[in-house]
Amino acid sequence: MSETVRVNISVSSELHTYYKEQAERAGVSMSAYMAFALLKYMDHSVQIEKGNKNQGIDLI
């Protein structure tokens, strides 16, 4: 497993409310829920980049 590091971010109150509610529904901390969401975003982005490279498309 990768080493974890602590980060602090500022988010809008709307985003905070959304993640707080989603985390409560999932029964996890908001930090864990946001980390999971960021991991999924990263996985998705990597797959898109791989697909674009296979098609000869360069992203900035």
- Write the pLDDT tens digit of every residue in 4-45: 999 999 999 999 999 999 999 999 999 999 999 999 999 999
Asked if residue 1 is part of any domain, the answer here is: no
Asked if residue 6 is part of any domain, the answer here is: no
Asked if residue 60 is part of any domain, the answer here is: no
Between CA 2 and CA 17 the distance in angstroms is: 29
Asked if residue 45 is part of any domain, the answer here is: yes
Is the predicted pLDDT of residue 49 greater than 90, yes or no? Answer: no
Asked if residue 8 is part of any domain, the answer here is: no
DSSP string, 18-36: HHHHHHHHHTS-HHHHHHH
pLDDT of residue 47: 87
Is the predicted pLDDT of residue 53 greater than 80, yes or no? Answer: no
Asked if residue 48 is part of any domain, the answer here is: yes
pLDDT of residue 50: 80
Is the predicted pLDDT of residue 58 greater than 80, yes or no? Answer: no
Distances in whole angstroms, Cα of residue 19 to Cα of each of 9, 10, 48: 13, 13, 25
Global pTM reads 0.74
Number of domains in the chain: 1
Q: Range of 17's domain? A: 13-54
